[in-house]
Structure 1
Amino acid sequence: MRRKASMVLAAALALTTVLSGCGNGSEAEANQTYDPNAKLNFTWLNILHTASPPTDVVKNKLEQYTNSEIQFSWVPDASKEERITTALASGQLADMVTITMMTNSTVRNSLKSGLFWDVGPYLDSYDNLKQIPQNVREAASIEGHLYGVPFQKNLARSGLILRKDWLDNLGLKVPTTLDELYNVARAFTEDDPDGNGKDDTVGFGDRSDLRYSSFKTLSSYFGTPNGWAVDDSGTFTPEFDTPQYMDTLNYSRKLYENGYLTRDFAVTAKTDQQQQFAQGRTGIYTGMVDIASLENMSQGLQKGMELVPVNKISNGDGQYHIWSEGSGVGGLLAFPKSEVKSEAELKRLLQFVDDLLDKEAFMYMTGGIEGEHYEIDADGSFKIINQDKWQADVQPFAASRPSEVTYKLKDSNPRKEMANELIKENDKFAVLDPTVPLDSQTNNEQGTELQKVITDATFRYIMGEIDEAGFKQAVQSWKDAGGTKITEEYEAAYKVVQNK
C-alpha cells in the first residue's frame, strides 16, 4: 500500500498522536493531530443500490489496503431521500456521508449552511484528488464552494439500443439522422421486422420518466439546451421555452399518433419497458448502458437477437449533441463538521478517499478479488467468473467508487464494450446544464412541484390532449407560479460566479 500524501501531511501538521477515532470524541480529542500512517477508524453513511449489504470480503481488503477500519451505515437507495434528509435535520451523521441528491432542497440548504467542510482548498495536496478536472469541481460546487469530494461519472451516458437483426431483416442501415430514425421506428412497427407475419411490434418502447425516456435524448438530437440555456449576456431560458423543445414535442407526437411509440408509455415503468424489449415487442430502447442486461433478459425469449448501440443522431446538419447528467458529477463524499472536528481529521479522511482512487482499490470495488470474482482474459478483457459471489461481495461497492472514469476496463461482451466506447465518445459533444453549480432558493423549495407542470404538459401534448397553445399556457403557469423567480435567481447566481 502506498502512502502518497504522508510526508506532505506530516510536515504540515507536525503530527504527534495516533488516530483512534474520527469525530466522535471529546473536545480535547478534537484538538489532536493525527499521523497519516496510523490506522483510521471512521464511520461512513453510504447508499446501498442492491437488495442486501455486502459481505466483509471486499471490505476487509479495502481496510487492509487503506489501513482503516470502516463502520458502514447503509441506506437503501429507495429510501435515501427520507433517510438522508432526516439525518441532516437531526444531526445524526457519520464521519463521511455519501450525498447523491444534489438538487434536494434540504441537502442543498445543509451544504450552503456550512454544515460540511469545504474541501476545495485541500484536493491539490493529494496525488489522485488533484487529478479531478476543474470543470468537475465547478459542477460539484455550490456558489463556488466544494462541500465534498465529487463522485466522478461519465459526462453523458445516454444513447439508443436498436435491434440490429431487425434492421438487417428489413434492409435498413443504422440511422444517423432523426429522419432516418423515424423511418426505422415506422418500419419496426409496420413492416414485420421479426418476420412472424403478425402485427405485434412497435418501434419505440418507452417509460413514464421524461428525463430518462426517449424524449430527453431526442431533445438533445434536436439541439435543445440541457435544462437551461444561457446567452452571452447571462440571460437564462428554460429548455422547454425553446423552439428545439417544441420540435421534439412534434416529433414525439407524430411517433405516438402513428403508433410508432408504445401507447402506454406514460404509465410504463422501466422494468416493464425492458421486458417489452426483451420479449421482442419493441425495437428501440433508450439507454446504452443497459445493453448487456437486455441481452440477458432476452435469454429463452428471443432467438437470434442482435443489438447495436447508437450514440450519434443529428437533426440533419451533421452536428451531434447529447445531454449530460450532472456534468460528470454523481454526488459528493462529504464530511460534516459536527463529526470531523479538526482539519487534521479532514486531511486523514481525504487521504483515505485518495487511496480509494488507486487502481488496486478501484479493482476491489469493481471486480473484487482476481481469480475469485473476476479474471482478465488473454486479450485483456475483464470478465466476472462467479456472478453470485460477485453480487454478494462486490456489487454493493461499485456505486461507492469515487470515480468510475479513472481506469478503463475492457468488457468481455463486445456489445457492452462498444457501448462503453460510445459513452466515452459522448464527452466530445456532451451538453452541460449551466445551473448545476448554481443555486436558486425558489428552485430548491418549489422546483420539483413546478417541474410536474411541464412534465404533465409534455406528456399530454405528445398524446394529443393539448395543442401548442395549451403547452405554452403551461409554460406561462410555470413562470407565474415561481419559474420567473427561479430564472432571476439563477441569473444572479451566475453573475456572482462569473465575477469571482
Structure 2
Amino acid sequence: MEIRKTKRGRFIPIACMIALTGALLAGCAGKNENNPGASAAPEQTTTPQQTQQTDTKEEPFKLSLMLMQYAPEAIKDDSPILKALEEATNTDLDITWVPQAQIDEKTNLILASGDLPQLMYIQSFKSPSILNAAKAGAFWEIGPSIQDYPNLSRANAEIMNNIRVDGKNYALYKYAPPAQVGVAYRQDWLKNVGLETPKTVDEFYNMLKAFKTMDPDQDGQDDTYGMAYYKESFLAMFRIVSLWFGSPNIWGEDASGNLTPDFMTDGYMASLQFMKKLYDEQLINQDFAVVTNGTANDMLLDGSAGALFASSGSLSTWQADARIAEQNGEIGIIGTVDGGHGLRARAGTGYIGTYMIPKKSVETEEEFDKVMAFLDKLNSQEVQDLLLYGIEGRHYTKENGLVVKMDNVPESQQLGAERGDLNILHVGVVANETPSKLLPIEQKRDQLRAENEKVAVYNLVEPYLSDTYSKQGQQLDNMRYDMMVKFVMGQIDEAGYKAEVDKWLQAGGSAVIKEFNDQYQANK
C-alpha cells in the first residue's frame, strides 16, 4: 500500500530529514520567552463557546492531519461522509493516510523532517521518539486546557493519567473500552444445573464444580471441565481472578505508599491458592500450561468446558458459531465477582493510539484553540453518529430512538466504502452517540463493559518506563509465569514460591521496582 493524500497534500522527501530535536523545536522558539521550548498549555484567546457561536460566520479552518489507514484504499475526496464531517466541524481537511504497517516509520520520518501536520494520530505513543519529542517541548501540552471544552473536559482521568509524560498530558486518547474482559460461560449449562449467575467467588466455584460433576450438557457422560485455561505469557487473564482477591492490577501501592508488583502481594497468593484448588479438583484442564488460546476457545464452543477467561469482543462470534447452534447453546459473560474486596475489574490502558498537536505546525494559541475545538466537536453526538453510522437516510434509519442499519442499499452507498477509515476520528472521549439497535449478545457485551469500567482497577505504572524492564522484560515475565504454573500444579509450595520471587528480584526485579518507584513518587 502507498501513502496517499486526501486533497491538497504533498509528500515529505526523505532528503529533507534533519536532526529530530532541532527540527521539531525550530518552530517552537519564541512561543514562551521565559522558557523556550516549554510545553506549558496556552491561555485561551477564544473560548469554545465563542468558537461555536461564530463557526457559521467564519471561513472553514484549514486543518492538516496524519491518520492511520487499515483499508487497502483510502477514501475518495468526494466521499459524502468526508464532506459531512467538514460541514459539521467547519473545517477544510487535508488528510495524509498512512497504512498501519508503515505509520510508526512515517511518524519518525516526519518528526525528523520537521514538515508536520497540525494533528497527528500516534499509534505507538510509548515509543522513544514520541516520548523524547514530548519531553523536548515539540508538542502542545493539552492538560491544563482540556477543561475549557465541553466534551473533552469529560475525559476519563485514569486514561489521561496513563498517557502522561513526566506528569503532563501532551496527547488525547482514542478510547478503547478499558475493562472489557471477564469470564465467558455456557449460560445454557448454568440453567441445566439449576444455578444463578455467580456474584461471589464461592458461587463462581460452585458453578465450575457443577459444570464438572452434574452433567451440564445432559449427555450422560463425565466428560466436561468447569473451565478451560490456557498458556498466557503475561498472565493478563489470570489477573481477572487475582483482582477478586485484592491484588493490584500488575502494579499497585503497598501499605507504605510504595509501588509493588502484584505477584508479591497477599491477594495474589490467595488467587494462586484458589487456582490450585481448581487444578487439584480437576475443574480446569490439567494441561493448561501448554494449551493454546485457540484450543481453549474450542473447548468452550464444542462443549468440553463450561467457562473461559475472555474478551467481551468475542461474544457475538461465539454465539453465532455453528457448534453452539447445534447444541442450542447460549453464551453468557461475567464481568467480575466479589472475593471479599468489593467488585474489582481488570483494566487495560483504555486507549488505542493518541492524537497530538505539534508546535512546529500549530504556532499560535489561536490555532491551538481551533485544533482543540475540532477534537471537541469530534465528540459531539452529530459527529459521533456520522463516524459510527454514516448519514441518516443513506446508511441508517431510526426506530424508537435507536439507530438501525440499512442493509439493502445500493453498493455505492455502503457505509464501509464511503466512510473508509474516517472512523479513526471517532475519538470516543465521551459516549454521545445515539444508541443503536443491538442483538441480545451485543447487549451483554456493552453491559459488561459499562459495569466493569465503574469498578476498573488500573496499572499504576502505566505512565512510566523502566530501563531495566525495557531490556529484561521478557525474561522477568517468563519467570513470573513459571512460578505461577509451578505453584498451581503443586511443584512448589508457598516457601518455594517466595524463593522464586527472590530469584526474580535478583535477576533485575529489584531495579525495576526502584525505577518505577522513583518516577511514581516524583509525580505524586
Calculate the TM-score normalised by the size of structure 1: 0.79
User: Per the alignment, in what secondary structure is the counterpart of residue 307 of structure 2?
Assistant: strand
CA positional deviation for 1:210: 5.3
**Paired residue for 2:67?**
45
**Paired residue for 1:431?**
457
User: Per the alignment, in what secondary structure is the counterpart of residue 198 of structure 2?
Assistant: coil
| In the alignment, structure 1 residue 369 sits paired with structure 2 residue 391 | yes
8 Å CA contact 2:151, 2:430 repeated in 1:
no
Higher-Rg structure is 2
- Cα separation, partners in 2 of 1:400 and 1:202, compared to 1, 3 Å: farther
Q: Deviations over 1:149-189 (max 9, x none)?
A: 12344452232222111011112221122222223223323
The percentage of counterpart residues that share the same residue type is: 26
What amino acid maps onto 1:334 in structure 2? M
8 Å CA contact 1:23, 1:95 repeated in 2:
no
Q: Following the alignment from structure 2 to structure 1, what is the Cα–Cα distance between the partners of residues 102 and 230?
A: 23
**Paired residue for 1:8?**
none
- Cα separation, partners in 2 of 1:490 and 1:394, compared to 1, 3 Å: same
Q: 1:61 aligns with which of 62, 84, 98?
A: 84
Pairs within 5 Å for 1:441-452? 441-452=467-478
Q: 2:194 aligns with which of 157, 171, 193?
A: 171
**Paired residue for 1:11?**
none
Gaps (5+ residues) in structure 2? 1-7, 17-22, 32-44, 47-54
Q: Following the alignment from structure 2 to structure 1, what is the Cα–Cα distance between the partners of residues 420 and 232?
A: 26
- Cα separation, partners in 2 of 1:337 and 1:236, compared to 1, 3 Å: same
- Cα separation, partners in 2 of 1:187 and 1:396, compared to 1, 3 Å: farther
8 Å CA contact 2:68, 2:424 repeated in 1:
no
Q: Deviations over 1:214-264 (max 9, x none)?
A: 411111111111122214643111111112112222322333344433455
What amino acid maps onto 1:217 in structure 2? I
**Paired residue for 1:485?**
511
**Paired residue for 2:312?**
288
| In the alignment, structure 1 residue 403 sits paired with structure 2 residue 428 | yes
Q: Following the alignment from structure 1 to structure 2, what is the Cα–Cα distance between the partners of residues 233 and 318?
A: 19
**Paired residue for 1:131?**
154
Q: Which stretch has the larger CA shift, 219-228 or 383-392? A: 383-392
- Cα separation, partners in 2 of 1:189 and 1:414, compared to 1, 3 Å: same
8 Å CA contact 1:58, 1:368 repeated in 2:
yes
**Paired residue for 2:338?**
314
**Paired residue for 1:335?**
357
8 Å CA contact 1:103, 1:444 repeated in 2:
no
8 Å CA contact 1:366, 1:395 repeated in 2:
no
Gaps (5+ residues) in structure 1? 1-19
CA positional deviation for 1:353: 1.4
8 Å CA contact 2:186, 2:331 repeated in 1:
yes
8 Å CA contact 1:63, 1:70 repeated in 2:
no
Q: Following the alignment from structure 1 to structure 2, what is the Cα–Cα distance between the partners of residues 108 and 448?
A: 22
Q: 2:329 aligns with which of 296, 299, 305?
A: 305
Q: Following the alignment from structure 1 to structure 2, what is the Cα–Cα distance between the partners of residues 297 and 497?
A: 48
Q: Following the alignment from structure 1 to structure 2, what is the Cα–Cα distance between the partners of residues 448 and 91?
A: 34
What amino acid maps onto 2:195 in structure 1? L
- Cα separation, partners in 2 of 1:105 and 1:461, compared to 1, 3 Å: farther
| In the alignment, structure 1 residue 386 sits paired with structure 2 residue 383 | no
What amino acid maps onto 2:511 in structure 1? K
Pairs within 5 Å for 1:210-221? 214-221=237-244
Q: Which stretch has the larger CA shift, 343-352 or 237-246? A: 343-352
Pairs within 5 Å for 1:258-297? 258-263=281-286, 265-267=288-290, 270-285=293-308, 286-297=310-321
- Cα separation, partners in 2 of 1:133 and 1:172, compared to 1, 3 Å: closer
User: Per the alignment, in what secondary structure is the counterpart of residue 159 of structure 1?
Assistant: strand
CA positional deviation for 1:357: 0.9
Q: Following the alignment from structure 1 to structure 2, what is the Cα–Cα distance between the partners of residues 235 and 482?
A: 18
8 Å CA contact 2:122, 2:356 repeated in 1:
yes
CA positional deviation for 1:432: 2.4
What amino acid maps onto 1:169 in structure 2? N
- Cα separation, partners in 2 of 1:21 and 1:185, compared to 1, 3 Å: same
**Paired residue for 1:245?**
268
Q: Following the alignment from structure 1 to structure 2, what is the Cα–Cα distance between the partners of residues 290 and 216?
A: 19
Q: 1:203 aligns with which of 223, 226, 232?
A: 226
Q: Following the alignment from structure 1 to structure 2, what is the Cα–Cα distance between the partners of residues 367 and 221?
A: 37
8 Å CA contact 2:227, 2:305 repeated in 1:
yes
8 Å CA contact 2:230, 2:288 repeated in 1:
yes
- Cα separation, partners in 2 of 1:226 and 1:65, compared to 1, 3 Å: same
- Cα separation, partners in 2 of 1:46 and 1:81, compared to 1, 3 Å: closer
What amino acid maps onto 2:181 in structure 1? S
What amino acid maps onto 1:188 in structure 2? F
8 Å CA contact 2:245, 2:341 repeated in 1:
no
**Paired residue for 1:495?**
521
**Paired residue for 1:147?**
170
8 Å CA contact 1:277, 1:294 repeated in 2:
no
**Paired residue for 1:324?**
347
Q: Following the alignment from structure 1 to structure 2, what is the Cα–Cα distance between the partners of residues 300 and 207?
A: 21
Q: 2:447 aligns with which of 410, 416, 421?
A: 421
When the two structures are aligned, how many residues end up with a matched partner?
472
Pairs within 5 Å for 1:463-482? 463-464=489-490, 466-482=492-508
- Cα separation, partners in 2 of 1:463 and 1:407, compared to 1, 3 Å: farther
User: Per the alignment, in what secondary structure is the counterpart of residue 238 of structure 2?
Assistant: helix
8 Å CA contact 1:288, 1:310 repeated in 2:
no
Q: Deviations over 1:287-337 (max 9, x none)?
A: 33432222123477434222333224112x3721112222x4444212334
Q: Following the alignment from structure 1 to structure 2, what is the Cα–Cα distance between the partners of residues 53 and 125?
A: 34
Calculate the TM-score normalised by the size of structure 2: 0.76
- Cα separation, partners in 2 of 1:170 and 1:300, compared to 1, 3 Å: closer
8 Å CA contact 1:153, 1:405 repeated in 2:
no
